[in-house]
Structure 1
């Protein structure tokens, strides 16, 4: 698959584009392992929902699947901040991998980090591995997710989650099909899903859970967010504030 790649820079940030002005990824040059874009930060909110980096880096997640490499932001963050995790990235376009390696400090493949070149949907449906955290961020140059936004795909993701598994998917909240995407996620996860309130970019991150129930009070989420910020520099305080303001956490407790 040939994907047109453009690189731009402004104010100390390097951007990835797929032949258009639409930003497909970003890296602050002085902080290559940080998450520059708001929606990528939000996709790591699973670290607040399960016991993990914020309080015991030896626990969760141990196996991570990332579908869609982009500028390697999620891959680098997990690889750098979750030393207990084995990370598998599935990317359909070799040109994206080459750009991430050349311009965005993609980690070298080793025992903890590997890349599979191919279709993310096909990979999930044809492999029987289980993952603690699955992150889906796959779009083409026209902001289309294709097979990565279908009910069979979400159902396959659900079946590939461990007993404490979480899935996070980046949805484009300004697209006409956004509500249908959320409905597919809800159906695939038997209602155990939540679309976070849209961030400024228009991206919406939806989470789905399997196995052990998630039950976190807002006060606990804020405390965990403070610990996570100290441990990794990742600030999810604004995410928690938006959850509270939007009424997405009835009774002050997030259930998933």
Structure 2
């Protein structure tokens, strides 16, 4: 049996990314070279790693079984490349929800790279539900999420507190008073995050607890789009206080006080089997979790 690192890497990348074309791009190979490497690996092993349905690749049971061992081999080889270093090096895939990715992650990663310059970060920005899915599919080492979550296979660790803020345009009828009562909420036009996001989950839970229903005129997956829509007078919004602090300070948006319970906990998500790796442990220490 003759196996190569190239073959193992293209198999692992295809399993993680779900597409051979994406794996080929990541490994800097042509699609034909990646396909050939995968075929050679299957030939050497004597069994199929993927079943093919047109262009779609579905991992076989044998592929699922061998994948953890292939990852162990690749991790061992990677550790041999820097025997005298701290051991904290190599590709580091982080999946983060939008607020964290925009307002917290840059300074965190700057600090992390200052300590461990051999780390190669790869940030994937998703909503909370999608971050969980990436961890399930082993497409990220660590997840950073904003919404409530539980999972029987993943470890979800409390990290830090945050709070949502309801806001409006300075010319909105509610702006001068700066207060939004529960009774006024159903009459408002709301511009909110999309279902599946942590921000939306916290808002929906608060509205449900208050016993009211609201009219969502737009559900958007980008904070900037929500802020610009509110600035255009299309309605009122609700986002993390982290994302609107600067606009509130400049007077471009106005904070609306409310009795809704809009506090939330940001969390770190890891797979138990990789939570003990030096790379992940170093990152968790930086986050103080």
Task: Compare the two structures and name the one with the higher helix fraction.
Answer: 2
Bigger Cα Rg: 2
Give TM-score, length-normalised by structure 2: 0.27
